[in-house]
Amino acid sequence: MPNYHIAIVGAGPAGYFTAQAFQKAQTIDLTFSIDMIERLPTPWGLVRSGVAPDHPKIKTVSKVFEKIAKVDGFRLFANVELGKDVSLKDLRENYDAVVLATGSAVGRKLGIKGEDLPNCISAADFVPWYNAHPDFKDVSVDLNTDTAVVIGAGNVAMDVARMLALDPAELDPTDTAEHALKVLKASKIRRVIICGRRGPEHAAFTAPELRDLPKLEHTDVYIDQVQIDQANLRVERMGEVEKDLKNNLEAMRLIAEHSKKGVERKLELKFLAAPIGIKGGTKVEEIIFTINEVKNGKVSATDKTFSIKAGLVVTAIGYDAVEYPGIKIEYGRISNIAGHVEHNIYVTGWAKRGPVGVIGTNKSDSADVVDLIIDSLKEPKNTAGIESLLKSGHKVVDQVGWEKINAAEVISGELAGKPRLKEVDWNKLINLGHS
Ligand code: NAP
């Protein structure tokens, strides 16, 4: 009975759904031993360090991950870094297939003057900072300003803007990092402006996230009704309107029309505003935009500009995949054809298709890659697994170790009235895993 050894690199949603697809494909005649390798001492990827803390429902998918981890043949090797603790070549030679599920963690740059000023922060740093990612606990975030601008019209921009615009007391019952909560509680920000470079009809927000905005209890949300009306006219003129777009525009219309509470905290969505420069002395002070227009479905710059005085700019304009020795990055993704990289190396998730799609998108994507792998499997290699590749004494956090970390965080969270209190110190996490 052939048993194949599979290495999955990256313990985020794409990695777990890959493991699940292998588990589902098992028969009496075909079995898989799955080693999941993760750089951090903790698994769950973006479910732990990406999903906004005020959206706890999205995180319940972690229950699925834990079920996958309990299936025979699954092993977790956290605190093991590809390219440092183990090479891709070694994995390739020791496993029947290697699946890279390493995501896209590098924030794209605007490429405009002033972007490197202090307090112009990429969402790739800001989001893991408030989510207690151990590598980002020391990100310098200064909220001593009344206005923040978030660049980008996607769901990450919306998460970031909400986190800045909420009454921080609303974050008390969440797993927001303690260091971030402290800074957010002292925040002077009362106006957060999301700026999209194209029209409302081109925004990458999704309707459920837009519909949640008017429900914010302590924040008023504004959209210029005229911008929404004009967008509606433009799309109607172009012919039949696709369902998702219709829902988005409808959700935006509701935001524009809903009655405001008259509270101090404000969140605004602006469109057709393309950032062209950031000004400031010792930190960000002002951001300059070109006003764009849409003509015949095409977006172009006008000769008009405007500026917003703001002491914080967060860019949420997409991500690129992280480079590893031996891996080629093309257009921000690991270069691949339908998930095949080269030899017995495959890729899935954001690293494969770019940073698009919600957590569930990874399920079908990973299932397709697993089908491709199974079709190309040859004789099992029966080589030694990752243990033989790691230096002796390397402190792996295995599934049991992770369960200890998880339990410790949940217990301290219970005492504080939160789902968990995340440990942010890398060494403490490893020690907890070995306690
Ligand atoms: P995204 O959805 O691709 O949005 C990126 C935004 O950045 C777009 O509006 C894009 O505008 C803009 N942008 C790109 N380059 C720019 C530039 N140079 N100047 C100004 N704007 C620029 O990416 P994301 O927000 O990072 O989200 C990634 C994926 O995760 C998405 O599929 C998203 O739905 C998902 N996600 C889901 C949730 C949720 O379900 N709650 C939460 C977070 C993320 P253009 O369109 O003009 O390029």
pLDDT at 293: 98
What residues are paired with 33 via a beta bridge? 5
Residue 214 CB partners (closer than 8 Å, separation 6+): 221, 254, 255, 258
Phi then psi dihedrals of residue 113, to 5 deg: -60, 135
> Which residue has the CA at smallest separation from atom 9 of ligand 1?
153
pLDDT cut 90: percent of the chain above it: 95
- Rounded Cα gap, residues 197 and 301, in angstroms: 10
Predicted confidence band of residue 240 (pLDDT cuts 50, 70, 90) = confident
> Which residue has the CA at smallest separation from atom 33 of ligand 1?
155
> Which residue has the CA at smallest separation from atom 21 of ligand 1?
152
In ligand 1, the atom with minimum distance to the C-alpha of 111 is 18
Please answer whether residues 106 and 124 qualify as being in contact, where contact means their C-beta atoms are separated by less than 8 angstroms.
yes
CA angle 196–286–258, rounded 5-degree value = 45
Q: Are strands 106-107 and 319-320 parallel, antiparallel or unpaired?
A: antiparallel
- Count CB atoms within 10 A of the CB of residue 261: 14
Residue among 248, 317, 353 whose CB has most ligand 1 atoms within 8 A, to mutate: 317
Q: Please tell me the number of Cα atoms within 13 Å of 307 on its side-chain side.
A: 13
Predicted confidence band of residue 383 (pLDDT cuts 50, 70, 90) = confident
pLDDT tens per residue, range 23-62: 999 999 999 999 999 999 999 999 999 999 999 999 999 9
Which of 147, 266, 150 is CA-nearest to residue 213? 266
| 257 has a pLDDT exceeding 80 | yes
- Pocket, ligand 1, Cβ cutoff 6 A: 110, 151-157, 159, 196-198, 202, 204, 206, 209, 275, 316-318, 355-358
| 281 has a pLDDT exceeding 90 | yes
pLDDT tens per residue, range 283-336: 999 999 999 999 988 999 999 999 999 999 999 999 999 888 889 999 999 999
pLDDT tens per residue, range 119-141: 999 999 999 999 999 999 999 99
What residues are paired with 322 via a beta bridge? none
pLDDT at 1: 74
In ligand 1, the atom with minimum distance to the C-alpha of 198 is 47
How remote is the CA of residue 55 from the centroid of ligand 1, in Å? 18
Tokens of 196: 């999209």
How remote is the CA of residue 72 from the centroid of ligand 1, in Å? 38
pLDDT at 239: 85
In ligand 1, the atom with minimum distance to the C-alpha of 299 is 47
In ligand 1, the atom with minimum distance to the C-alpha of 108 is 15
- Is the pTM higher than 0.95? The answer reads yes
Question: Position of tokens 């599934």?
Answer: 399
How remote is the CA of residue 316 from the centroid of ligand 1, in Å? 7
pLDDT at 123: 98
In ligand 1, the atom with minimum distance to the C-alpha of 52 is 42
> Which residue has the CA at smallest separation from atom 1 of ligand 1?
154
How remote is the CA of residue 110 from the centroid of ligand 1, in Å? 13
CA end-to-end distance (rounded Å), the chain: 38
Averaged pLDDT score across all residues of the chain: 96
pLDDT tens per residue, range 192-217: 999 999 999 999 999 999 999 999 99
Compute the average pLDDT of residues 398-404. Answer: 98
Q: What is the largest CA-CA distance in the chain?
A: 70
Which of 149, 94, 89 is CA-nearest to residue 270? 149
Please answer whether residues 174 and 418 qualify as being in contact, where contact means their C-beta atoms are separated by less than 8 angstroms.
yes
Compute the average pLDDT of residues 172-189. Answer: 98
> Which residue has the CA at smallest separation from atom 15 of ligand 1?
317
- Rounded Cα gap, residues 9 and 43, in angstroms: 11
- Rounded Cα gap, residues 89 and 1, in angstroms: 27
- Rounded Cα gap, residues 195 and 315, in angstroms: 10
pLDDT tens per residue, range 137-158: 999 999 999 999 999 999 999 9
Compute the average pLDDT of residues 69-89. Answer: 97
> Which residue has the CA at smallest separation from atom 14 of ligand 1?
317
